[in-house]
Structure 1
Amino acid sequence: MTQERANHVLSMIETMAQNGTAPEEGCSLFGVGFDAAFEKLRNKYIRDQFKRGRSSEKFIVGPFGSGKSHFLHQLIEVARSESCVTAKVTLNKNVDFTRYMLVFREIAHELRTPRSQRHGIRALIQEAVAYKRNQVPDNPAAAEMLLNGWISALSDVDYKWPFYGQLLRQACAACAENQEERLESLCRWLGGEMDNAEHVKLLKAPKITSAESNLYAIRALHTLAQFVRQVGWSGTVVGFDEAEQGFQVDTRKKQRILSMLMADINGLNALQNGSLLMAYALTPDIVADFDTFPALQQRVLHPGADFFEGNVLAPLIDLQRRQNREQELVEIAGRLVSLMYSHWADSMAVPEAEALGQAQAAASRLAAEDLSSSVRRTLVKEVCTMLMNIYDDGWAFVATGQETEV
């Protein structure tokens, strides 16, 4: 176990003690209750559908504090482990979902390749070129020949937006030839700065009107997903976290958002060789609004068994349909204690068995006392606070919530 990994675990526990929210990285280390769900998603979508170039969407539904962010983050971790490019976008009032070019910019800004911590279009292009070069690591001349042949062949791909695909090819060529200034201009335009007059002129790009921007933003995203497949990665997973914040708007605007979602689903169904999975974390009240848009409702609601009853094709993943709540909370408490002690046992002033007993007692107490949807978050905060107190100075929260010195 590296010190870097141990430090990451400590920072993760510390952050969750402060606010109880799911960390950006590491959710799979203490994920509980959804192992079977992630295996279904891995096998059906990331392995099966992605291999065939198919694209889909999922709506992860649950009240505040029910674990939507954790589920979404863990899905992204699963995707990265399967050689997927990923992006996680947090929606809020500053990201207007009706302005899809703005949404696309956020997606492009958050893109990550499977084995890199870097984000953005420029990193994507550089990692793509490096990925192709590394296929012949011991023969530089052959590697360059392979890379140049691949870049040339990108011209023959049937992209959803041919011009965007053309500039992706030019960006790869600029990267391969170390043309830094041109690469920068290409990547900024490819990342959504399509209204920048300087880049438009330099790249001889088409002028996109405000009325056309949503359409071209969707085409850009789909073309980008097709490019990811051309590199050799498995596919692309885009997750929208806290989407209810971005969807809490007036009725007129909400109808436009629902219309955009409908267009998104239709576009994914028509996308060829894209291997794109779009996942939205939503509260039940937002999903209830789908009833006001019959076309969307009919596409999302699925007859018969739901996702957790075995219907892996169901678009809705309702986290409220999960196992016994007390059992889940007890397991979460146990995973958190085990995670901390597996990395920092020498720094913990209390034996692991004692900390585990306190954590599981807290889980049982909260399951009996707290009927709200946020009980999971409350437990995570309490257990992580207990662990940090033990780590810092030997103080721990006992099951009653009172402090005691050890």
Structure 2
Amino acid sequence: MPLHEDRANMLVEVIEALKTIAQHGHLTDERSALIDVGTTKYINFFEEEILDTFISQGGATCRFYEGPSGSGKSHLLSLLYHLGIKKGYIIYRTALSDDLPLDDWQGITKEILANMEMVVGNQHIQSLPNILKELSKNPQYQIDKLGKTPLPHEGIRKAIIFAMKHSQGLDETQWEVLSRNILGEKTTVKDFSGAKFARFFKGSLTKRNAEVFLKTVLTSLHMIGVPGLLLLFDENNKTLTTSPTRPSNKFKKAANLIRRLIDGTTNGTLVGTGVVFAVLPGFFKHVNDTYPALGQRLMMNRNVAEGIGWRSPVLPIQSVNETESPEEFLRGMVELLLRYFQVRESMKEELYRLGEEVLEAHAGADYRRALIKRLATHLIANIESIR
């Protein structure tokens, strides 16, 4: 493709990205990397040290990023999501809310199984059964190791093996029954016999077995050749806090789930998996005050000026960005936008003026979303005069 066509296509992508930012304040799709300032080195670090060197070799980790709304947490998760997709990972991404409580292993497990995503070839595949069906077409993915390895939940392990072996030859009714079983829906001997299956996979997903069910799925996928899995959780409102004097049972269960995920990365029950939480300010202190069993696992040096190593599993969101001040971030963003658009000097000055107004109004770490949205809105409003 000629260079001028490449630039024209890129410009179209940037304009569409800016329109989305102007409307919603942030991006969640692959265009996030087009409007990114300061995180390139951290993303490269995450790719090389976390994904390539650790998770793809069978390791597991929990990572936490803390910052207020508008500080870049969702943007970082979007970058990690698309990095994982590019590298052949299976990804689950969600915003934590009251509709998805983190105190319910069974509910979380069903959500992950139904909504995990993977790109195979050029196809975007969603849900565990559909992913298995697609992977079964590719000799790159093999069940030999999985077939020889006992796992905590033998029912789902055997169902995954069966899907990899036979999914291409099942009729619609058989595939529907098998899919329900793999998704953790209750299936009975009658369901399987009615679909003319010769066997029944015991142990449907329940509250009691949900943890081992999920961990068996994650381990199984890594064993058949998926390089790794990323589970991304974004706290957009105070879903992970409770009364400091009387923590609720719901909070205790959610904190315990997070604790067991962390422990799973060190005791070997999680394999080839990265779990990432983006949380709001106060989460760590609150957990430490109300649930010390988790709080002691989340100790964090909060003095960014002292420097925080990226290998730390708990980081303030500003530490992953190279820009050292809001003013430097503003300069970086304006320079980035000017690389895409040829604008008159007065437009450049206007962008800086608008950005400085945003910085004056946002004294904390929450300025980034407001700043980018303001610049995007102005550029889109004047797009015809600068294209």
Q: TM-score, normalised by structure 1?
A: 0.79
Structure-2 change in CA distance of 1:111 and 1:9 (3 Å): farther
Match of 1:155 among 123, 147, 156: 147
Code of the aligned partner of 1:67:
G
* 1:339-381 alpha-carbon deviations (Å, 9 max, x no partner): 5x4xxxxxxxx73765444323322332244314432111121
Q: 1:318 aligned to 316, 319, 322, which one?
A: 316
- Alignment partners' CA distance in 2, 1:356 and 1:219: 56
Aligned with 1:127 (options 131, 134, 139): 134
CA deviation string 1:144-179 (max 9, x = no partner):
xxx7xx346532134342221111111122323244
- Bigger fraction of residues in helix: 1
Alignment of 1:379 with 2:380, yes or no, is: no
Q: What is the aligned residue count? A: 367
- Asked whether the equivalents of residues 88 and 226 of structure 2 are also in contact (C-alpha less than 8 Å), the reply is yes
CA distance in 1, matches of 2:344, 2:52: 39
For residue 164 of structure 2, what is the aligned residue in structure 1?
A: 172
For residues 318-352 of structure 1, the C-alpha deviation after alignment (integer angstroms, 9 at most, x for no partner) is 0144521111122123334545x4xxxxxxxx737
Q: Distance in 2 between matches of 1:386 and 1:40?
A: 34
Tell me what 2:267 maps to: 270
- Structure 2 unaligned runs (5+)? 1-5, 195-199
Give the structure 2 partner of residue 327 of structure 1. 328
Cα distance in 1 for partners of 2:257, 2:270 equals: 22
Asked if the contact 1:87–1:112 (Cα under 8 Å) also holds between the matched residues in 2, the reply is yes
Report the aligned-residue RMSD: 3.2
The 3 A distance-change label for structure 1 pair 122 and 55 is same
Cα displacement (A) at 1:231: 3.2
- CA–CA distance in 1 between the matches of 2:28 and 2:286? 29
Aligned residue in 1 for 2:97: 92
Counterpart residue identity of residue 90, structure 2: V
Q: Which residue of 2 aligns with 1:288?
A: 285
Deviation at 1:185, TM superposition (A): 2.1
Question: 1: distance between equivalents of 2:223 and 2:134?
Answer: 13
Give SS of 2:203's match: coil
Distance 1:161 1:207 in 2: 10
* Alpha-carbon distance change, 242 to 354 in structure 1, aligned in 2, over 3 angstroms: farther
Alpha carbons of structure 1 residues 359 and 302: separation in structure 2 relative to 1, 3 Å? same
Query: Secondary structure in 2 aligned to 1:65?
Result: coil
Contact 2:104 2:254 survives alignment (8 Å) = no
Percentage identity across paired residues of the two chains:
18
Q: Tell me the equivalent position of 2:295.
A: 297
**Conserved 8 A contact 1:333-1:380:** no
Q: TM-score, normalised by structure 2?
A: 0.83
Residues 40 and 357 of structure 1, relative CA distance in 2, 3 Å threshold: same
The 8 Å contact of residues 56 and 277 in structure 1, kept in 2 or not, is answered as yes
Residue in structure 1 matched with residue 197 of structure 2 by the alignment: none
User: Is the 2:133–2:164 Cα contact (8 Å) retained in structure 1?
Assistant: yes
Gaps of 5+ in 1: 136-146, 342-349, 397-405
Give the counterpart of 1:187 among 179, 188, 202.
179
Amino acid at match of 2:214: L
Partner of 2:36: 31
Task: Give the aligned partner of residue 3 of structure 2.
Answer: none
Q: 1:245 to 1:232 in 2, by over 3 A?
A: same
> Structure 1 residues 389 and 107, CA, compared in 2 at 3 Å: closer, same or farther?
same
Distance, in Å, in 1 between the alignment partners of 2:66 and 2:190 is 43
Task: Flag the 1:128–1:4 CA change in 2: closer, same or farther, 3 A.
Answer: farther
Tell me which amino acid in the other structure corresponds to 1:324: S
**What is the CA-CA distance between 1:232 and the residue it aligns to?**
2.2
